[in-house]
Amino acid sequence: MTIGTGIVLFVIGAILAFAVNVEVEWANLDMIGYILMGAGAVAFLIGLIMLLVRRNRTTVDGRVVDDDVV
């Protein structure tokens, strides 16, 4: 799950919840939209947290360079 996935889920959920005015007997599209918006928000936050954790890591290279060796 990345930031882009979260944004896409949120947008699709908002479209279903607010823009689609179709009544379907077997599904409540408003509730599905709200669920997708919640999942999108969670995915977006997880992506941000993963990005910040990855950015704060420092790597140490164990190789030593000896300038005297030709």
pLDDT tens readout for residues 11-64: 999 999 999 988 889 999 999 999 999 999 999 999 999 888 877 766 667 777
Give 67's DSSP letter: T
User: CB-based contacts of 26: which residues, under 8 Å, 6+ apart?
Assistant: none
CA–CA separation, 40 vs 52, rounded Å? Answer: 18
Residue 46 Cα to chain centre, angstroms: 6
CA pair distance 34, 47, nearest whole angstrom: 20
pLDDT at 1: 60
